[in-house]
Amino acid sequence: MHDLLFETRTEWSEQENPREKFIEYAADLDLDVEAFTACLDSGDTAAQVQDEYEQGLAVGVDSVPAFYINDWFIGGAQEFAVFQQAIEAALRGEHPTPTPTPLPPGVSPFDPNPERPGYTYSGDAYHGSEEAEIMLVEFVDFQSADNRQHYLEVWPDLEANYLETGQVRLIVKYFPALDHAQGFQAAEAAECAAQQGAFWSMYDLLFQQQEEWSQAEDVLTTLKGYADELDLDTEAFAACLDEGQTSAKVQQDFAIGAQNQFPPAPVFFIFMGDMGGYVPSEQLQDVIEQLLAQEE
């Protein structure tokens, strides 16, 4: 049935109610049609399908096909070489990301990591002073029109007034919408650029050129072209994208948002010491001012 459903996808997917087609397929496969029909009409398998769907969301699966080979994740229709590489790495006992190690005493995951300039201990890119008392965590969706509008119209003033003055540090995580497949690829591109010290240049370019890459017939080729514009090592950047080297990071961030039912990006959290939490984008400046007033 698995094979037949893929082979006849156009046929049954265009039916208003594909029930009769599925029963027809059961007969073609010499199944017990009466038992098959009873199962189909009872909805007995609906709970299992829903449970597996929720499991996929919980581990960051946003589109199909998606594969896990031990803890190696492969998203999308990839070439054989991509699967071969992951399988061989798994057979060697390798893992896609380093095994987490305990943080130094008195350090939080969002503190700057001196061993990786521009990144926190949790592996998130940040912008602003390491000494800033206020941390602004943004979950972004590069494909979101609202997120781009915030970047173009609201963010420049916030950056000039609070980041450049050393009062706030911005930390970036990812939460693309489920139907924004290109948004996931763009987030991976930002992280691939980060490997060459160009995260923020790519971050800016992705929002500025959103219409171009999000509507491109070949998104990956367009994204690779941006690496050339930024004078990156294009061969290394292309390998990073093609091999999904940064997909685990993007999927981990997405899983946080999905599990906690975040609203659509941009999503903001503000922290200062023991205080903090979710803040609607239109209230960012007011909340920052309130926190700064408490410091005086």
pTM: 0.66
| More confident site: 100 or 54 | 54
Among candidate residues 71, 271, 267, 93, the one with its CA nearest the CA of residue 168: 271
Quick one: CATH architecture of 126-295?
3-Layer(aba) Sandwich (3.40)
**143 in Cβ contact with 214 (< 8 Å):** yes
For residue 214, which phi and psi values (nearest 5 degrees)? -70, -20
* pLDDT, tens digit, 9 for 90 and up, residues 84-113: 888 888 888 776 655 455 667 777 888 999
Residue 82: pLDDT band (50, 70, 90) is confident
Q: Give the per-residue pLDDT at 255.
A: 86
Give the tokens for residue 141: 């969706």
* pLDDT, tens digit, 9 for 90 and up, residues 175-208: 999 899 999 999 999 999 999 999 999 999 999 9
CATH 3.40.30.10 domain locations along the chain: 126-295
215 has pLDDT over 80: yes
* pLDDT, tens digit, 9 for 90 and up, residues 254-291: 988 887 889 999 999 999 887 778 999 999 999 999 99
